[in-house]
Amino acid sequence: MENSAPLHRGGRTIVVIGSSTGGPRTLETIFSGFPLADAAIVIVQHMPHYINNALCRHLARTCLMDVKIAEDGERVEHGTIYVAPSDVHLSLEGNRAIHLFCDEKVQYVRPSIDVAMTSLERSGDDRFVGVVLTGMGSDGAEGIRHIKSIGGITIAQALQTCAIHAMPRAAFETGRVDRMLAPEGIRERLIRIAGIL
């Protein structure tokens, strides 16, 4: 059952969003008018290198969050969106620090949504949200299963709003998705869960 009660003092909200084909446009919709939220948001978008900086610029223009390409070893901070760079996996160590590493592809992709999501560790203070957006394949399904198993909130993009619905469908078929929402609904849900800084 989804829990959207206010976050306990001392904890933090960590959101991991995974997307592939059609993802940049969907992400722009989600973050259009997005406030400075009391959350750290990690985006794992399957994309070539040359799109990394452009995606960050587009998102930064649409929202009040800081937007940057994730760097190895940096600590995640609320009010910031971290975009996983191409061709390396991203994990979160102790739910606090970004680790970038080059390893075998997972679900035929690198970075993998599953790798980022399954790196989260159960914590009594932290709150987790996993979101799977449009894309081919099934990357993110195992991640959604994991986030739900550690008490997180799980969301998948409504299939009729996807450019390609294979990824959110695979997530839904795990039986561990709390809500299927259009991009605008995902935006409102994330704001409600995280709150404003």
Q: What is the pTM of this model?
A: 0.94
pLDDT tens-digit series, residues 51-64? 999 999 999 999 99
Give the residue numbers spanning the domain of 185.
13-194
Among residues 112, 139, 165, 178, the one annotated as catalytic is 139
Catalytic residue check, 4: no
User: What are the phi and psi torsion angles at 88 (to 5°)?
Assistant: -135, 150
pLDDT tens-digit series, residues 89-112? 999 999 999 999 999 999 999 999
Cβ pair 146, 120 in contact under 8 A: yes
Asked if residue 2 is part of any domain, the answer here is no
The first and second tokens of residue 61, run together, are 């223009």
- 124: domain CATH number? 3.40.50.180
Catalytic residue check, 91: no
Asked if residue 59 is part of any domain, the answer here is yes
Q: Report the domain count for the chain.
A: 1
Distance CA 115, CA 153 (A): 17
For residue 118, the Cα-to-chain-centroid distance in whole angstroms is 12
